[in-house]
Amino acid sequence: MPIRPRSLPFDYAVAIASFGGTAQLVVTWLIHTTGNALAPAWYMLFAGTVGLVAMVMMRETAPGKR
């Protein structure tokens, strides 16, 4: 069995635990520290930008594409 199907659930679980599990703590801390109720929006913008950069930097692995 290839590694990819076995590692995908693990990667998903780690991402959910690290980002989803700490989201309330980070958002509460951001609002308390900055005093700005829109601080969570900046957090989401930063997380989305990191994800977009990671996606753009990924190498294409589909067969037949160069």
pLDDT beyond 60 at 10: yes
Residue-wise pLDDT for 17-63, tens only, equals 888 888 889 889 999 999 999 999 988 899 899 999 999 998 887 77
pTM: 0.57
Alpha-carbon span 52 to 48, nearest angstrom = 6
HEC states along 2-47?
Answer: CHHHHHHHHHHHHHHHHHHCCHHHHHHHHHHHHCCCCHHHHHHHHH
| CA end-to-end distance (rounded Å), the chain | 26
Alpha-carbon span 30 to 26, nearest angstrom = 6
Q: Which residue has the tokens 């294409």?
A: 60
